[in-house]
Structure 1
Amino acid sequence: MEKGFELISIQPYEDKRGSLKKILMKSQLEGNKQIEEVYLLYSENGSIRGNHYHKKTLEYFVIVSGKAKVALRNLDKGIIEEINISSSDNLILKVPPYVVHAFKNEEDLPLIMLAISSKEYNKLDTDTFKMEILQ
C-alpha cells in the first residue's frame, strides 16, 4: 500500500433477482481490528465530507449510489491522489490511520456512501483531526 490507501475490487453475485455485493468479511480485518460502527452518508450536490484523518481508526467506504470525487493524502509519504468512484465501479476504499480523506458530490443526484469504522465515534475522544485537502 505505497499510497497509504487501498482500492479493493469486489465481484457481485448476480442472478435474475439482481445482485449481491459482499462489502467486508472478518477475514479482511487486520490484526485485532474490529468493526464498531457502520453508517450511511447522504450528500447533496456540492457537499464535501471528511477533510480529516484519524490516528487510530481504520475505515472502509463504499459508494451505494452516485459518484464521489475522492481526495486522499498519505501523511507518512506526502502522496496526494484524487480519484472518482461510482457505485458501478464495485470498489471498496480502505483508509487506514494517517491518511487524510475527503469526498465531494459533484453530481446532481445525491451521493450515498456506506462507511464502516473500526472505532465508534465519541465526541469526547473523536480521533478526528481536520486537514483540508478538497474544496
Structure 2
Amino acid sequence: MQKLLPYATFKDERGRFLGITQDPWGEVNFIETRSGHTRGNHYHKETRELFFIISGEIEVSIEDVRTGNREEFVGRKGDMFVVDIYEKHTFFTKSDSRWINMLSQPIDADNPDFHTSEQPG
C-alpha cells in the first residue's frame, strides 16, 4: 500500500484545484457509503486501485496475502492511497463517506479479478 500526495495544488479566490493523479487508470468510480458499513474484503491478482477520500472517515485495513504484513489507518477527507496486487483491502465507514476509486484496468464482468481466499492461488 502506498500513500500518495497530490501532484499539484492551487488556491485562489475561485476556490481550490487538487491534482489527484497523472497516471493512466482504466476505470474510475464514485462511491457513497453510509456509516457503519463494510466494503472490499478482497484482493486482486492483476488490478491496482487508487482511493481518494472526498468526505467522511473510513477505517482501512490492508493485508498482503503473500506475506501476512498488515497495515491499518483511518482515511479522512483528502487522503489518497494505492492498493497493490495481492493486498487484501477492507473498508469500514465510521461516518457517511464519499470517495473516488480508480482501477488500473476495467473489471471484466465475465472474469472479475476479485479474490477472497487467504492464500493466493
Give the TM-score, by structure 2 length: 0.88
Q: Tell me the percent identity.
A: 26
Indicate the residue corresponding to 2:68 in structure 1. 78
Indicate the residue corresponding to 2:94 in structure 1. 106
Indicate the residue corresponding to 1:65 in structure 2. 55
Stretch moving more, 12-21 or 110-119: 12-21
> Which has the larger share of strand?
2
Distance 1:59 1:6 in 2: 10
Confirm or deny that 1:12 pairs with 2:2.
Answer: no
> Which has the larger share of helix?
1
Choose from 69, 92, 105 the match for 1:119.
Answer: 105
Distance 1:69 1:50 in 2: 12
**Aligned ranges 1:38-49 → 2 under 5 Å:** 38-49=28-39
Confirm or deny that 1:94 pairs with 2:82.
Answer: yes
How much is the aligned-residue C-alpha RMSD, in angstroms? 1.6
Total equivalences in the alignment: 117
Indicate the residue corresponding to 1:30 in structure 2. none
Q: Counterpart amino acid of 1:7? A: K
Distance 1:21 1:6 in 2: 19
Assess if the C-alpha contact under 8 Å between 1:72 and 1:82 holds in 2. yes
Indicate the residue corresponding to 1:22 in structure 2. 19
Distance 1:100 1:40 in 2: 20
**Where do 5+ consecutive residues of structure 2 fail to align?**
none
Shift in CA distance, 14/70, structure 1 to aligned 2, threshold 3 Å: same
Deviation at 1:91, TM superposition (A): 2.8
